[in-house]
Chain A
Amino acid sequence: MSALPAAAEQALETFSQPISWEQRARLLMAWGEQLEPLTDDERSEPNRVDGCESLVWLVGHFSEGHWQFRASGDARLIRGLLALLLVRVNGLPADELSTLDLAAWFSQLGLARHLSPSRTNGLQAVLTRMRELTLNAPR
């Protein structure tokens, strides 16, 4: 297992501190604002992730054995969650991504509740889509 990507290291440092729900929410929104925007073409129906209360799009590129994802959404807090997901997965070799425990990642950040089955915010649906993309990719 390679070391955490630098941005993930930084996210972990920020979010694992004892902070109030309000600070956490503000931080999430700030992280969301750093998401690289998707083009109109990328915000297409096939890239849209079903099962989200808000609109979420996910695109993934596989090259030279590594995955690179980009994502966006129309709600602000989900954008923050997406940003925290991307910093953890981007640049990973395919085999490492396939065994990565993303629920544990969000737990470490104090955001495990956003993955609970009763949540319809779509983070779970995004993880499922990511898994589908990586499983179907040519090796």
Chain B
Amino acid sequence: MPILSPWRSDFPALAALAADSQTYLDSAATSQKPQAMLDALLGYYRAGAANVHRAQHLPGERATRAFEEARGKIARWLNAASHDEIIFTRGATEALNLLAYGLEEHFHAGDEIVISALEHHANLLPWQQLAQRRDLALIVLPVTTSGQVDLVAAKHLIGPRTRLLAVSQLSNVLGTWQPLSELLALANTHGAITVVDGAQGVVHGRHDMQQLGCDFYVCSSHKLYGPDGVGVLYGRAATLQRVLPWQFGGEMLLQTDYYTAKFRPAPLGFEAGTPAVSAVIALGATLDYLASLDGAAVLAHEAALHAELLAGLGARPGVRVLGAPQTALASFVVEDVHSADLAHLLTEQGIAVRAGHHCAMPLLRGLGLPGAIRVSLGLYNDSGDLQRFFAALDHALEILG
């Protein structure tokens, strides 16, 4: 029985892409958007744009209220203890950079920062550069062949010198959930600050910040069916107090003279300059839309489609899937075929998948691969998409054979 998505028609881009003969299987890079989000974006501009947190006039008041309501929606989506724990950034990458600069004071030569071997560049480079600036040791946790952080090694590598642990929740290359509760517990034992890169994880299922118990959690709106240009940094109130502002200007201050300033607490103290007002409001509309869906049905749909993807890949001789993907995506290579050639021929056939190193160069190098093809799913994908992908894959392999 082919799997259909009851939500596909909520996303106008799917029909537009189909009219262009494009099959979109790259949602882990960015997602398509629901009509509700498009309406909110247009609705905001149509009704009158205004800056937030600075104008006394009616449009300003309205924009500020909608903006702050969106903050509340995210707080509820993540079950944060308070909406003051939600900071808007330009994306997950900026949120991680904010942390690497804002926490810099707490690091001293010889301290250790622990990440994992499968981190996206966004959760590697800010820490790598912080380590260089402050003469810290960057410790990289190895990953098992199935694609999880190796907990046995982690027990040895996370220790009393560990000041910070930064790991992703769901790998953007391997599609594997990481053993967060064990890793966070290890870090907590040693009083280390914990950062979770939820850029992929947030898209699949609801995650409860109070239950997860990390200090910081970052994600990007554009992967979660929201607009681009917005990211979210969740920070536990107590730990947020240890972060210093990193960008200065606009309304992030309480008072200033020419020579000194006093800054606002979180969240506004970390939101210097005019934020992406329209996009934040539209993200709120996306969350309303997502909250209106049957979450269990979405997860079941994604799981069934993912199983179909893995079965199809597994049935093709020569295809090697990287790790043991659990959710939403799978990366693969084909024996004796260059993934750049395969990507070329899939593109020719209107299959939109990602090829290359997926912003995880060291991970792929560690696997001895120059690149891989990644197929990733959104809640709007269906069996038809996978059938077109597999037909194109077979055709490409025949040409390259």
Contact = CB atoms under 8 A, between A and B. Distances in A.
Interface of A: 21-22, 25-26, 29, 53-55, 74-78, 120-121
B341 interface: yes
Interface string B327-361: 00000000000111101110011000001100000
A77 B344 contact: yes
Given A75-B340, A76-B341, A77-B341, A54 B370 contact: yes
A74 B370 CA distance: 11
B399 A75 contact: no
Contact of B340 (A25, A29, A121): A121
Contact of A53 (B340, B345, B399, B400): B340
B348 A25 contact: yes
A55 B340 CA distance: 10
Most buried by A among B339, B371, B395, B399: B399
A120 B356 contact: yes
A25 B341 CA distance: 10
B399 A121 contact: no
Contacts of A78: 340
Contact of B338 (A21, A22, A76, A120): A76
B340 A77 contact: yes
B341 A75 contact: yes
B370 A76 contact: no
A54 B340 contact: yes
Contact of A54 (B338, B349, B395): B338
A21 B21 CA distance: 14
B371 A53 contact: yes
Given A54-B338, A78-B340, A21 B356 contact: no
Kindly list the 6 A-B residue pairs having the minimum CB-CB distance in the complex, ordered from nearest. A75-B338, A75-B340, A54-B340, A21-B348, A53-B340, A77-B344
A26 B340 contact: no
A30 to B, nearest CB: 12
A109 to B, nearest CB: 15
Contact of A25 (B339, B345, B356): B345
A22 B348 CA distance: 8
Contacts of A26: 399
Contact of B355 (A22, A53, A74, A76): A53
Given A74-B370, A77-B345, 8 more contacts: A22-B395, A25-B399, A29-B400, A53-B343, A53-B371, A55-B370, A74-B338, A75-B340
B344 A21 contact: no
Contacts of B370: 53-55, 74
A27 B182 CA distance: 54
A68 B241 CA distance: 63
Contacts of A22: 348, 395, 399
B356 A53 contact: yes
A74 B339 CA distance: 11
A104 B264 CA distance: 55
Interface string B367-382: 0001100000000000
A71 to B, nearest CB: 15
A74 B369 CA distance: 13
Interface string B388-401: 00000001000110
27 contacts: A21-B348, A21-B349, A22-B348, A22-B395, A25-B344, A25-B345, A25-B348, A26-B399, A53-B339, A53-B340, A53-B370, A53-B371, A54-B370, A54-B371, A74-B370, A75-B338, A75-B340, A75-B344, A76-B338, A76-B341, A76-B400, A77-B341, A77-B344, A77-B345, A78-B340, A120-B355, A121-B344
A21 B392 CA distance: 12
B75 to A, nearest CB: 36
Contacts of A21: 348-349
Nearest to A28: B344
A54 B370 CA distance: 7
Interface string B54-98: 000000000000000000000000000000000000000000000
Contacts of B339: 53
A26 B400 CA distance: 8
Contacts of A76: 338, 341, 400
Nearest to B355: A53
A22 B370 CA distance: 25
B26 to A, nearest CB: 12
A55 B371 CA distance: 11
Contacts of B395: 22
Nearest to A121: B340
Nearest to B370: A54
Nearest to A122: B340
Contacts of B399: 22, 25-26
A29 B399 CA distance: 10
A74 B341 CA distance: 10
A54 B355 CA distance: 11
Nearest to A113: B347
Nearest to A54: B340
